[in-house]
Structure 1
Amino acid sequence: MSVGLIKLEQQISRLKQQAVQFDAAKWFDKNRYMQAQPSLFDTRVFRTKSLKLSDYVDEISEAMTHLPPSEQRHAFAFAIERIGSQMEAVLKVLKSTPVWAKENKLNTPKKAKVYKKAVQKIMQSSHELYQELSQNHEFERRLQEMIDLRRLQMDKANGNEAAKLNAEILALHARLGRCRKAITATEQKIQEVEKSQNR
């Protein structure tokens, strides 16, 4: 496991401890507003339906243990992105408690910001780069579709229309070439980051 993922697991472990304290204090029972937190109870973020915050952190832990291999870039990127959204949703609930606010002022003034930055830093390689790669692949797919469509149109086009379509195809091929170069560059960045994490 890379250093980045180990650090991410450590952050989840801390989140679990905080969630257990949250549940012990019965914050959900005391504050109905928290029960309506859309990011926490949104089925697109969590499958869990519970009034125990630790159950949501358990879902995050389970997702970490079942991460797809990093070679499956799209699936891995999606899983990491989802874990990041889930952690932010849990953190948002924790931050809405007076205890969190009090600790934040007395002990570590920028605790929440530091936490978020840490998560972002850990996930940068396995989130932003994979997201960038995913976007580039989507551009590649769209450009190829546009080329294929114009080729079909050329079969039915007259001389002037065919010449215009041919020019568009050439321009799209140039864009496709740049897109594929970007894909290669991003893949190289990912390999470099993963090598540095595994050292």
Structure 2
Amino acid sequence: MSQAIVKLQQQIEQLAQHAHQFDKAKWFDKNRYIQAQPSLFAHSVFATKSLKLCDYVDEIKEAFARLPSPEKRHAYAFALEKLSTQIEAVIKVLKSTPVWAKENTFAKPKKTKVYRQAVKKIMQSSHELYQELSQNHEFERRLQEMIDLRKQQLSSASTSEASKINQEILALHARLGRCRKAITATEDKIQQVEKQQNR
């Protein structure tokens, strides 16, 4: 397990403690509007329907336990993004009540920042870099298609047209070479970041 993942796990445990304090203080018991709601959060954020924060943190814990392997890049990045949204949603509720303010008068901004940084650190390697890699592979595919198309046109082209098409093919090959260099560079970046996380 990478260091960043361990840190995230610790922060989810801290979030569970704060949620427990929150539920114990019964902040929503006097709020008629909230008592009339079936759920604290939108269905798109949590599947859980409850007026207790602990139930939502339990869903976060389950999602964390079911995180896909980092090898499944897109699924892993998507799951982390969802987890990040859920953690942020719970923190928002905590921040809006005196229990958070009282318990974390000095540490409040710092704690919120720590949650964000822990998720962001993993997200950068798993989301931004993989997104960049995916875009580069898409460019590579398109350039190859353009080269193949020009080669087909070449077979039925006149001498003057053939000269022009050959120049276009050369230019496309140069772009393809640069694109493949970018793919290798992004793959190297991913390896470096994952090595740092697994230290």
Global fold match (TM > 0.5): yes
> How far 1:46 moved relative to its partner?
1.8
Compute the displacement of 1:122 (Å).
Answer: 2.5
The 1:90/1:153 distance shift into structure 2, 3 A limit, reads farther
Which one-letter code corresponds to 1:62 in the other structure? E
Which amino acid is the alignment partner of residue 130 of structure 1? S
Q: Counterpart in 1 of 2:145?
A: 148
Tell me what 2:126 maps to.
130
- Relative to its length, the structure with more helix (as a share) is 1
**Partners of 1:172 and 1:88 in 2: CA distance:** 45
Using the size of structure 1 for normalisation, the TM-score is: 0.74
AA at the equivalent of 2:145: D
Q: Residues of 2 paired with 1:182 and 1:28: CA distance?
A: 53
**Which residue is equivalent to 2:117?**
121
Letter in 2 for 1:59: E
Partner of 2:53: 53
The aligned residue for residue 89 of structure 1 is: 89
Identity of aligned residues (%): 52
By how many angstroms is 1:176 displaced? 5.0
* 21-30 vs 59-68, which moves further: 21-30
For residue 92 of structure 1, report the CA deviation from its aligned partner: 0.6
- Separation (CA, whole Å) in 2 of partners of 1:124 and 1:16: 20
Give the equivalent residue in structure 2 for 1:194: 194
Distance 2:19 2:161 in 1: 64
Measured after TM superposition, the shift of residue 161 of structure 1 is 9.2
Per-residue Cα deviation, 1:149-194 (whole angstroms, up to 9, x for no partner): 7855986898799958x83x76665555444434433332333333
> Which one has a bigger Cα radius of gyration?
2
Give the counterpart letter for 2:128 in structure 1: E
Scaled by the length of structure 2, what TM-score is found?
0.74
Pair 1:42–1:182, CA change in 2 (3 A)? farther
- CA apart distance, 1:88: 0.7
* d(CA) in 2 for partners of 1:155, 1:121: 51
**Displacement of 1:131 after TM fit?**
1.6
**2:3/2:198 contact within 8 Å kept:** yes
Counterpart for residue 15 of structure 1:
15
The amino acid that maps onto 2:132 is N
Structure 2 letter corresponding to 1:196: Q
Out of 115-124 and 128-137, give the one that drifted further.
Answer: 115-124
Structure 1 pair 172–138 and aligned structure 2 pair: CA distance change class (3 A): farther
